[in-house]
Amino acid sequence: MQLIKTLFKTTPHLENGVYIQSVDSCYENQNQTNDAFSEKWKSLHQSEHDREDSWKVMQFEWYLKLYGYESEEILKQYIQSRKIILDAGCGLGYKAAWFSELAPDSLIICMDFSDSIFEAAKRYENRRNMVFVKGDIANTCFSDRAFDMISCDQVLHHTESPPATLQEFTRITKETGILNTYVYAKKALPRELLDDHFRQASKEFSHDEVWALSEQLTQLGKTLSDLNITIEIPDIPTLGIKGGSQDLQRFIYWNFIKCFWNKNIGWDDSVSANFDWYSPSNAFRYNREEFLLMCEEAGWSNSFLHSEEACWSGCFSKKT
């Protein structure tokens, strides 16, 4: 308990197992983004045990790939050497719980601005090495140099100002600390324009309307995927479209409209993935140079970089 208190500049009040730093942002888009994720996370079904959910197992496996860990055992050895770890934007907390299992002697701080933090606190209330905080990861209540490691997986781009968030991470991380973080990658021009249109329009939609849109796009993705058609595409560099032999669904998905469908995780989780994309107001995208420069200017040096069509991710250490 004494260790927990030293993490905070001023210890927030405790409510239902959660330290309440703040409940609202002064930014409209951030509040809308928080609300979108509160809606998304409460809609997801969770099994009794995390590894019984295929979408969580997929996320665990992807995390290893995103940050350069060749196996779960290597991640385990690595995080066991980190005494205090922040899962910044933890959502339902299942990755933080994964860390807590792999490193039972480490303290895992779970922080999220959405109401999902209360779900996480309830689900993992018996984990003695997990602490739950509701608040803004871009403006935390933590002391300087409090953490040995920050994991901000698939969240940085959802903050009001990712550069400012990275600077906050620099402040609260020890000189020997590391950061694992991820941002959306920029897509072809038609896709970027349509994404911006839907994201702006969805601010005026009800949750039910966004869910309906997400179901329609999931059906489109499934229909295209079921066709199992491969087409030859010419390079169109002006639009950022890459040529070559491509599956029809993937061609439309990457270049024109996100219509996610993955038969391995099923209908509901695919719908949730589309909701996740179109509902939040804050969802910044970057190319390689923009991502690395943003991190460098905030005081982070890249030691591992991963890229794929969807994202950029990397492991960073503090610049000396």
> What was the pLDDT predicted at 2?
76
Which structural domains are found in the chain, ordered by start?
2-186+287-318 (3.40.50.150), 189-278 (no CATH)
Helix-strand-coil percent breakdown of the chain, rounded to 5?
45, 20, 30
Please, what are the averages of pLDDT over each run of 10 residues along the chain (320 residues)? 85 95 96 96 94 95 98 97 97 98 98 98 97 97 97 98 98 97 98 94 93 97 98 97 97 97 93 94 97 98 97 95
> What was the pLDDT predicted at 147?
98
Task: Find residue 304's DSSP bridge partners.
Answer: 315
Task: Find residue 150's DSSP bridge partners.
Answer: 86, 179
Nearest alpha carbon to residue 248 among 237, 232, 261: 232
Supply the pTM of this predicted model.
0.95
What does the alpha-carbon distance between residue 43 and residue 37 come to, in Å, rounded to a whole number?
10
User: Tokens 């030859």 sit at which residue?
Assistant: 232
What does the alpha-carbon distance between residue 185 and residue 182 come to, in Å, rounded to a whole number?
9
What does the alpha-carbon distance between residue 154 and residue 302 come to, in Å, rounded to a whole number?
17
Write the secondary structure of 224-270 as one string of H (helix), E (strand) and C (coil): HHHHCCEEEECCEHHHCECCEEEEHHHHHHHHCCCCCCCCCCHHHHH
